[in-house]
Structure 1
Amino acid sequence: MDDLNKPTSERHVCIVGAGISGLRCADVLLSHGFKVTILEARDRIGGRICQSEGLGYTVDIGPNWIHAWTDSDVPHPIFKLATDTGTPLHHWNNKQLLFDSDGNKLPDESTDRLSTTLWDIIADAFTFSEEGHTKNGGKDIASTDSLQDFIRRRAAEVVSDEGERQLLVKMSEMFGAYVGEPVWKQSLRFAWMEECCGGDEMFVASNYSAILSRAAKPALDGATIRLSTCVVGVTSSVAFSPFQRQAVTVTTDVGETLSFDEVVMTTPLGWLKHNHDSVFSPALPPRLTSAISNLGLSQLEKVFITFPSVFWTAPSADKPFPCYTNWLTPHYAESTNPQHWPQEIWDLSSFAEPNNHPTILFYLYGDCSRHIVNSIYGKTPEEKHRFLDDFFRPYYSLLPGYDAADARCKPAAILATEWLKNELNGFGSYCNFQVGVEAADQDVLAFREGCAERRLWFCGEHAAPFEECGTVAGAYLSGENVARKILGVYGLGGEKAQGI
């Protein structure tokens, strides 16, 4: 019996990684009768979807958001999982609190007007980028042009006051928390691939655990899942005929050698950047190694600060407290922040009960996030708490109601992520498209195509639908896409995944 005509139950697929993309891939393959083994280096499933109890209650230290598309009849997969599991989702109010570089609160009228202008300009940038891509692949937009360059140019056209133009450019720095690096590093040519940020943005008010459990159930029920199993080698060969495809050999860190009909790599982009040279034999094709090198890797970290109770607002239906606060290029914390990195928080106390904890969440990106993690890594909990409180106090102390002598204003617990030091994540966060990249869309497509002739496939948020790169939904859909491609190889109707 030739290879492609083996019974479905004899076709054995290895999925490296038990994150959301691998779990979805397993779900589709299992539903078509494939035998599936998942090798996961961590001692748990979920990958970057994970939680911590470090605040005294459960919080996501991985993704928090669901960026759901609103212009399609196809249901958003993660929103659907959240709905199906009763996971509470939060829509933020449109209120914003801004402090200027001297720590002075900006008038509400100026804040609202400039914020609206900024988002209009960012929407224009997406449109400009997408039209350029449609016209000739974006070649008319210089690869050195950044999203902030566009904002500066458009601000000069639509804002007459020089002081307000400067404020608007400073406010644009907040986009760094979406893409994980400063806005002046964000490619304008490929800004259209970041448009997920313009959809229906919802925050998971509890945590992602129920969503993960529902997505993982088919794999937990039907696949062989081996935790704490690190893959260090993948050996494949090029087939001379579709009916003479050679098995793929996977080697683990304990020297075990396993053979499979197909291998799906769900490892993060950062892991591929650090390991592809040593893991794959023979080396990956040049188009894939180029994609691994070309795509940017962001650095996003989070710091949760919980207080004994909420001191910054007395919530009321007629005047809710702003959900979002931004401190623009602060010049009043020279001892801790001489680089004047802007800061921002989201107010988690605004959630509905029982999730309305007295917590503020700082998002850090780029050099600021690297500084924070490098400063606390390996320190004792007490040392971490002291450093983080010293760093962030200049900002939260400007919130209304703060009183240094009031016990309510002293943090009860502080939790910081440390993805920068996570080897399995590739010492980074997720893909983004930085200034200088020439063909990011083709790089993503290279991951989506994989190496069918070598039975080697790739999925993850870096192999997602263009406007879902870097998101949980993107990773989920990429796993589905790879499964459909494998079905197609075996003549099992590998229809295209939704959104791909």
Structure 2
Amino acid sequence: MESRERCNRQLRTDPCFANPKGRHAAAPTVIVIGSGFAGLAAARTLYDASFQVMVLESRDRIGGRVHTNYSFGFPVDLGASWLHGVGKENPLASLIGRLGLPLYRTSGDNSVLYDHDLESYALFDMDGNQVPQDLVTEVGQAFEKILEETDKIRQEHEEDMSIQRAISLVFERVPELRLDGLPHKVLQWYLCRMEGWFAADAETISLKCWDQEELLPGGHGLMVRGYLPVINTLAKGLDIRLNHRVTNIVRRNHGVKVTVEDGRVFTADAAVIAIPLGVLKSKIVKFEPRLPDWKEAAIEDLGIGIENKIILNFEKVFWPNVEFLGVVAETSYGCSYFLNLHKATSHPVLVYMPAGKLARDLGKLSDEAAANFAFTQLKKILPDASTPIQYLVSHWGTDVNSLGSYSYDAVGKPHDLYDRLRTPVDNLFFAGEATSSDYPGSVHGAYSTGLMAAEDCRMRVLERYGELDLFQPAMGEDTPLSIPLLISRL
């Protein structure tokens, strides 16, 4: 059901850059590989700095792991859909504000659920009985205490362990925090939501590093009209080549040579590598000479998680007027949750969001079978649920263009892997959410690393050709006038 429309009329398929021997009279040249947020941020910045920029994209659309779909007749995001940190500190805030795009705030600061406040949930057991809100709050407080105890364990142990293992040790050490019956099931649901935040299972998430990312103030806001307007704004006027899957990247003393799947070759002074971590891990793209060992180790050791969306469109609303519906169970794997888009957009849509092992298991099913599974979960809590009239299913884990949703800190691996992945290698500059040590796994993390890669590239290329003006302001110093974000909370 994914839309096949090209979302940017500026996309071009004209020949590659002119012969490199004569191009510096006009402008330095850069190839950007990947048209997600990081790639487009880098391309836009370099283009605005008078570089000649070409973007090579393997898909038939721009946006990468941002994909706003219109097949229901209105926008829904199959990938990223939140702005994490609704305030001026967010590097994306000024752009979103300038475009006048509304946000629906789903949480304030310091929510134990990260992206949603407790009062916005309705939880049910497998028999369709709603969990009392007092119990949900009480277990939420217990979960916070459990996480505080895991911090003590972290300080006492030199070796890393998983969040799952640390929680087990907490229960051994502080038995009164162990819960049984319905409270235990609600606790498993909290753990399920934590796994959803990292798109990974608790048994694979690092105890030492899980909370190292920086959470910007202002809570979290859902992009009511989707992220595509932002993507299109960044892409406007750029030379973007769709269906250009890169297979080989050669770096040389004075340039790069990039080969795509059909054998065509493109050359430039430098390249920005905005390829998803999962694709880098697969080694589909070959580097000549090989990347340094420390770079390859960073690619290998960073975790890549999976979270998918099964989006169900109904004729009318039949569910409670809350932002999230949750199903509690004996294990986090058995728990589930649905985002209620009607609350934010007025459209009768629920989004089932499996993560980790559950997402991988559902990824093996057909779209119809996956949609049926999600609807079966919904019927457990709302027996009178009507059949959806349309559905969409994402495949971030199996899509050859992504091979995962976003990065996370794996057990036993240091947090500085993100910085290592971002560090340039000669005239190759790396960007993407997996290169952001402060904001991994986020759209603004991808965007900010695109800006950094562009500035690193600009400085290196101009320095190499003796054109660097040390008194010229760095890109981004001319900060645009702050425009308030349009925020609602119904």
Q: Secondary structure at the match of 2:50?
A: coil
1:263-412 correspondence runs (5 A): 263-275=271-283, 279-313=286-320, 321-329=321-329, 341-351=334-344, 355-376=345-366, 384-385=367-368, 387-399=369-381, 402-403=383-384, 409-412=386-389
Q: 1:461 aligns with which of 425, 430, 433?
A: 433
Q: 1:413 aligns with which of 387, 390, 393?
A: 390
Rounded Cα–Cα distance in structure 2 between residues aligned with 1:475 and 1:344: 26
Task: Identify if the C-alpha distance between structure 1 residues 32 and 112 changes in structure 2 by more than 3 Å, giving closer, same or farther.
Answer: same
Q: Contact 1:51–1:58 (CA<8 Å) still a contact in 2?
A: yes
Please tell me the residue identity of whatever aligns with 2:289.
Answer: P
Q: Please list every run of 5 or more consecutive structure 1 residues that lacks an aligned counterpart in the other structure.
A: 133-137, 238-244, 314-320, 332-338, 377-383
Q: Secondary structure at the match of 2:354?
A: strand
Deviates more, 1:290-299 or 1:102-111: 102-111
Give 1:167 shift.
4.0
1:214-293 correspondence runs (5 A): 214-217=233-236, 220=237, 223-237=238-252, 245-275=253-283, 279-293=286-300
Rounded Cα–Cα distance in structure 2 between residues aligned with 1:95 and 1:154: 29
> What is aligned with 1:435?
411
Give 1:61 shift.
0.8
Q: Contact 2:171–2:177 (CA<8 Å) still a contact in 1?
A: no
> What is aligned with 1:193?
212
Q: Contact 2:432–2:449 (CA<8 Å) still a contact in 1?
A: yes
Q: Does 1:487 align with 2:469?
A: no
Q: Secondary structure at the match of 2:197?
A: helix
1:19-58 correspondence runs (5 A): 19-58=36-75
Q: Secondary structure at the match of 1:290?
A: helix
Give 1:50 shift.
1.4
Rounded Cα–Cα distance in structure 2 between residues aligned with 1:348 and 1:159: 38
Please tell me the residue identity of whatever aligns with 1:397.
Answer: K
Q: 1:449 aligns with which of 404, 423, 433?
A: 423
Give 1:140 shift.
4.6
> What is aligned with 2:4?
none
Task: Identify if the C-alpha distance between structure 1 residues 422 and 100 changes in structure 2 by more than 3 Å, giving closer, same or farther.
Answer: same
Q: Contact 2:162–2:202 (CA<8 Å) still a contact in 1?
A: no
Task: Identify if the C-alpha distance between structure 1 residues 18 and 301 changes in structure 2 by more than 3 Å, giving closer, same or farther.
Answer: same
Rounded Cα–Cα distance in structure 1 between residues aligned with 2:364 and 2:178: 40
Rounded Cα–Cα distance in structure 1 between residues aligned with 2:127 and 2:178: 19
Task: Identify if the C-alpha distance between structure 1 residues 230 and 166 changes in structure 2 by more than 3 Å, giving closer, same or farther.
Answer: closer
Aligned residues: 435
Give 1:267 shift.
0.7
Rounded Cα–Cα distance in structure 1 between residues aligned with 2:334 and 2:248: 41
Q: Contact 1:457–1:482 (CA<8 Å) still a contact in 2?
A: yes
> What is aligned with 1:423?
400
Give 1:103 shift.
4.9
> What is aligned with 1:111?
136
Rounded Cα–Cα distance in structure 1 between residues aligned with 2:177 and 2:251: 61
Task: Identify if the C-alpha distance between structure 1 residues 139 and 279 changes in structure 2 by more than 3 Å, giving closer, same or farther.
Answer: farther
> What is aligned with 1:77?
91
Q: Secondary structure at the match of 2:92?
A: helix
Q: Contact 1:8–1:33 (CA<8 Å) still a contact in 2?
A: no
Rounded Cα–Cα distance in structure 2 between residues aligned with 1:191 and 1:356: 35
Give 1:325 shift.
2.1
Q: 2:441 aligns with which of 439, 464, 470?
A: 470
Q: Contact 1:303–1:363 (CA<8 Å) still a contact in 2?
A: yes
Rounded Cα–Cα distance in structure 1 between residues aligned with 2:27 and 2:335: 56
> What is aligned with 2:123?
98
Structure showing the higher helix proportion among its residues: 1
Task: Identify if the C-alpha distance between structure 1 residues 162 and 120 changes in structure 2 by more than 3 Å, giving closer, same or farther.
Answer: closer
Rounded Cα–Cα distance in structure 2 between residues aligned with 1:152 and 1:109: 27
Rounded Cα–Cα distance in structure 2 between residues aligned with 1:17 and 1:364: 26
> What is aligned with 2:484?
none
Q: Deviations over 1:128-164 (max 9, x none)?
A: 79xx7xxxxx895532232662486279749557324
Task: Identify if the C-alpha distance between structure 1 residues 9 and 91 changes in structure 2 by more than 3 Å, giving closer, same or farther.
Answer: same
Instruction: Tell me how large the CA RMSD over aligned residues is.
Output: 3.1
TM-score normalized with structure 1 length = 0.78
Q: Please list every run of 5 or more consecutive structure 2 residues that lacks an aligned counterpart in the other structure.
A: 1-19, 107-116, 478-490
Rounded Cα–Cα distance in structure 2 between residues aligned with 1:20 and 1:328: 35
Give 1:121 shift.
5.0
Q: Deviations over 1:62-109 (max 9, x none)?
A: 101110176xxx631223322221222112363322234665432111
Q: Contact 1:326–1:343 (CA<8 Å) still a contact in 2?
A: yes
Deviates more, 1:223-232 or 1:415-424: 223-232
Q: Contact 1:186–1:433 (CA<8 Å) still a contact in 2?
A: yes
Give 1:446 shift.
1.3
Q: Contact 2:188–2:330 (CA<8 Å) still a contact in 1?
A: no
1:58-73 correspondence runs (5 A): 58-68=75-85
Overall identity of the aligned pairs, in %: 24
